[in-house]
Amino acid sequence: MGLRAAFARKAWFGFAPYPRARELCRDQRDYGIGGEETWWSSYASTDATQKAIASYQAREPRNVEMSDGSVTVRHEDRKVLSIHAVAPADYPACGNTPRPGEQTVLVVSQLFRRR
């Protein structure tokens, strides 16, 4: 695996990066109660949301959770990929927004416990 591919996998917390997804937010942090910290990054795609969902369902059928408005893929309960339609904007944001024509937002996150 080349250096660029290795970095892309790390940036997506072990999830396969979605093809041609454009980065919106990188290395964002949210602090929770009890010493929890969530790092997250988000990406936008011109693909339809259902196409992105189908891609991850095919790769990881046992890890996919369907819910109202989004789909979640989990690794070890601490690493999460969520797939959302651009509208309504029910995903975390950092001020960068999807461009016209982008239909899907993918958010990857990992939960850490601060010491």
The parent domain of residue 26 ranges over 3-113
User: How many Cα atoms occupy the beta-carbon half-sphere of 85 within 13 Å?
Assistant: 7
pLDDT the model gives residue 14: 87
pLDDT the model gives residue 46: 98
pLDDT the model gives residue 23: 95
pLDDT per residue as tens digits for the range 97-115: 999 999 999 999 998 876 5
pLDDT per residue as tens digits for the range 58-95: 998 889 888 876 799 998 878 999 999 999 899 999 99
Number of structural domains (the chain) is: 1
Among all chains, which residue has been given the structure tokens 């950092």? 94
pLDDT the model gives residue 13: 86
pLDDT the model gives residue 3: 43
Cα–Cα distance between 30 and 8 in angstroms, integer? 22
What is the H or E stretch that residue 84 is in? strand 79-85
